[in-house]
Amino acid sequence: MITNEQKYIDNIADKGVRNKKDLDVFFNQYYAVFVSFACRYCLNEEEARDIVQDVFVSFWEQRMNFTSILTIKAFFYRSISNRILNYLRHEEVKSRYAESQLKKIQSEEFIQESVIREEVSCMIHKKIKELTPREQEVILLSLQNKSNQEIADLLSLSVPTVKTHKMHAYARLRAELEELRFLLLIL
């Protein structure tokens, strides 16, 4: 006696996957096989499942191009292989990048630059806190790359007023941080 599932499998073999019911039957029949195939490429099961599911989505979008179970299975095996190879290449690139970044952050030069950058930032922010409250607001927004117009809108000021606050604040900061500027030139 032929079961309903067997009828669907025979239908898929003859005509391909045409509707959601066909896809459900095909999925139930082959999903585990495709995941097992993907795992043979040294992927963990979660990565393999993700790739197989992506291929199912891709297949569904172009299902009308396939008319037999052989072309469907060939599509799945080839697509899974290609996606795995792309995934592995991407992982290799990420690994090389992480390795180069690790070498960089372990270098003495990087550590020194980071320390200097943090110390300078701390000193600048300390000096900014000595400005008037309005100048502080204007300078901090300016450091966030806000335009004069954006600062004016945020603080309910006119653009000329923002420019005046910036001018006064920068003049005071230049005077206060002159020795720092000289120190940075030496480094």
Is the separation of the CB atoms in 48 and 65 below 8 Å?
no
- Note down the domain range covering 133: 107-186
Supply angle C-alpha 59, 48, 71, rounded to 5: 30
Q: Distance (Å, rounded) from C-alpha 145 to C-alpha 164? A: 17
Which domain CATH number covers 167? 1.10.10.10
Q: How far is CA 74 from CA 43, 59, 61, 79, 181, in A?
A: 20, 11, 16, 8, 67
Total domain count, the chain: 2
- The residue among 159, 168, 101 whose CA lies nearest residue 135 is 168
Helix, strand, coil content of the chain in percent (nearest 5): 85, 0, 15
Whats the size of the chain, residue-wise?
A: 187
pLDDT truncated to tens, each residue of the chain (187 aa)?
555 555 555 555 555 666 788 778 888 888 999 999 998 887 789 999 999 999 999 998 888 888 778 888 899 999 999 999 999 999 899 888 888 888 777 777 877 877 877 888 888 888 889 999 999 999 999 989 999 999 999 999 999 999 999 999 988 888 877 776 666 665 5
* Residue 128 shares a structural domain with residue 98: no
Which domain CATH number covers 29? 1.10.1740
* Residue 99 shares a structural domain with residue 151: no
Q: Distance (Å, rounded) from C-alpha 156 to C-alpha 152? A: 6
